[in-house]
Amino acid sequence: MRSVRRAIFLLVLLGCSLGTALAHMGVELSEFQGRRQAVMSAASDGITLLHSFSSPKSWRDSGFQQDSNFYYLTGLENLHDAILAVDGTRKESWLFVMAPTERQQRRFDALSGWDSVYLTPNHATEQALGIEHIVSWDGFANFIETRRKANPKLPLYLDQSREGKMVAEVSNPPGLADIENPYLLWSEAIKARWPDANIVDASPALQNIRAVKSPAEIALMKRAAAYTDAGFRAAMAAIAPGHTNREIEGAAIEAALRAGADGVSMWPELKTGPVSGRTVFQKFYDYHLLNRTVQSGETVLMDLGFNHEFYKGDVGRTLPVSGHFTREQREVIDLMSGAYRSGLQALHDGVSAVEIVAACSRYVEDHRQGLLSELARRAALELLKPGTWIMYTHGLDMVEMFPLKELHTGNTVAFGPDFDVDGQGFYEEDVVLIASDGYQLINPPLPYSAADIEKMMARLKRAQRE
C-alpha cells in the first residue's frame, strides 16, 4: 500500500506541475497526443524516431533550444538524452529516457514536470505526459531489434532536415562525412547500428503536420509577435544619424525582454549603407553582422523577432535614418508597399505562391509607367523578379517550410520583398495566418506607406524624449 500511495502522490505532484505549465503554455495534453496521432497516420507503415538535443546551451545563447520536432510532439522543452519513437504500425508512442543519476536529480531538482531535464521512467510519468510508454533508453536497441525481427523491411522515419532549417550539409570535402549536421549524425548512427535499415526522411510529413497551426499555437505566436512589436518600435525610436547598428539592435532587445519575451528568436538584422549585392543570408557569415554607423539619407532595412514559449516572432520594414525618406526613396517605398499589399490581398486557402507573386507583379506593371525617379524605375524591375519575393511558413522555427508551393487554412506565413537598388536595401515583411477567405495579421499592424512610417518614427522619438 505504501508503494501505491507513493505512486499516487508522485502522479498528483507531477500532474500539478504539468498542469501549471500547460496553463502557461496554453496547450492541452490532448493536443500533444493528437499531434503524435497525426504522425502515426502519416507514417502508418513504420516508426518515426526523433532525438532530443542533448548538449547544454552555448555560452552565447539566451536559453537552451530543444529540437523543434521533438518539442512539438512532446511539449518537453528542456528534456535531454531522450528518443521519441512514434510507432505508426501499433498506434502508440515510446519515450526512451536516460534515468537521472542522484547528482543529476539534485542539480535539476527545481526543473520538474514539463520543465524536466531528466524524467524518471515510470507509470506516473506516462500518465502525466499522456505517452503510452516511458522507459529507460538502455532498451532502445532491443526495441528496434524486436520490431525489425517481426518486419525486416520496417521503415524508420528520421528527421533529415531537408528543408527549412539552416544546417551545414556541406562541411567536409567529398568522401568525408559532414561534421556539423546533427540530423545527419542521428541518421548515420542508426545506419551504423542497422546497416540494412530502411531509412525514410520524416521531414516532409512533419513539416506538413506542423504547418497547420492550432488556436493554441496561434495565441502563442501572437504573444511572440507582441514582444517583437515592442522591440521593433524601440528600434525605430533609436534610429538616428551617428548611431551604430549595434546600438539600435540593443534598444530592440532591451524593450522586447522588458515586455516579457523569453529571448531572441532572430538577432535583429539591420542592413544599412552602400553594401550592394547583400542578401538576407549575409548576416550569418559576417562576424560583425554588418555593424556600422548609420548616416543621414540612408535607409535601414530592419528585420527582427523574439520568442514566447518557443514560438517565434518576425517582422520587417524599411526605415529612414534621418526620420524622413528622400523623394526617390519615398517613391520606392510606396511602390513596394502597394505591390506587397496586393500580394496580401491575394492570400486565401488553396492559393499558390506563383499566384501571390503574380498579384504583386501586376501592381508593379500597372504603376511603373507613372514612376518619376530612376531609382523607382530600377526598383520596379527588381520587384518584377519572382526571386525578390520571400515566402515560408513560420512558427517554432524561423523558417519551417521553404520554398512554398501552395498555402492552406491554418498556415502561418512570413511574406515580403527583399531587394537592393543602388546599394540601398528595401524590405517589408509580416507574419500572416491564412484563412479560408483571406488572411489575418499575426503581428500588430505596422505602417506600410512612407508617410505613415515617418509619422510613427516621429511619434516614437517624441515619446522617447518625453
Q: For 146-155, write each residue's pLDDT tens digit.
A: 999 999 999 9
* DSSP secondary structure code for residue 274 in this structure: S
pLDDT for res 424: 87
- Average predicted confidence (pLDDT) for the chain: 90
pLDDT tens for 131-143 read 999 999 999 999 9
Look up cell 518619376; give the residue.
372
pLDDT tens, residue by residue, 437-446: 899 999 999 9
pLDDT value of position 160: 83
Give me the percent of the chain exceeding a pLDDT of 90.
74
Mean pLDDT of 4-14: 38
CA distances from 312 to 25, 284, 298, 301 (A): 14, 18, 29, 20
> Taking the CA of residue 360 as centre, how many other CA atoms within 13 Å lie in the half-sphere pointing to its CB?
32
- Using a 10 angstrom Cβ sphere, with 0-12 exposed, 13-18 middle and 19 or more buried, the burial of residue 176 is exposed
Give the pLDDT score at 239.
97
| Residue 80 Ramachandran class (φ > 0 left, ψ -120 to 50 alpha, else beta) | beta
pLDDT digits (tens, 9 = 90+) for 260-293: 999 999 999 888 877 544 566 777 888 888 889 9
pLDDT digits (tens, 9 = 90+) for 41-80: 999 999 999 999 988 988 888 889 999 999 999 999 999 9
Region of 249 please: left (phi>0), alpha (psi -120 to 50) or beta.
alpha
More confidently predicted of 163 and 49: 49
CA dist list (Å): 252 to 181, 304, 324, 397, 448: 31, 9, 21, 20, 20
pLDDT average, residue stretch 409-418: 96
25: amino acid identity, one letter: M
Q: Which residues contact 258 (CB under 8 A, 6 or more apart)?
A: 230
Give, for 116, the enclosing helix (H) or strand (E). Answer: none
Residue showing cell 508503494: 3
pLDDT over threshold 50, residue 371: yes
Where residue 14 falls among pLDDT bands split at 50, 70, 90?
very low
Residues 46, 156: contact at Cβ < 8 Å? yes
Count of residues making up the chain: 466
By the 8 A CB rule, do 328 and 297 touch?
no
The predicted-structure confidence for 22-33, as pLDDT tens digits, reads as follows: 444 789 999 999
Q: Tell me, what's the pLDDT at 18? A: 47
pLDDT at 121 over 80: yes
Q: What is the pLDDT of residue 237?
A: 97
> Alpha-carbon distance 30 to 36, whole Å?
10
CA–CA distance, 282 with 276 (Å, rounded to integer): 12
Distance, CA of 199 to CA of 191 (rounded, Å) = 8
Of 375, 416, 397, residue with least CA distance to 280: 416
* pLDDT at residue 279, as a whole number: 62
Q: Within 157-290, where are the H helices?
A: 182-193, 203-211, 215-238, 245-259
Work out the pLDDT band at 11, boundaries 50, 70, 90: very low
Is the model's pLDDT at 7 over the cut of 70? no
pLDDT over 50 (residue 5): no
Query: Rounded CA gap, 323 and 297, in Å?
Result: 9
Domains of the chain: 2-210 (3.40.350.10), 212-465 (3.90.230.10)
Return the higher-pLDDT residue of 338 and 266.
Answer: 338
Mean pLDDT, residues 196-203: 95
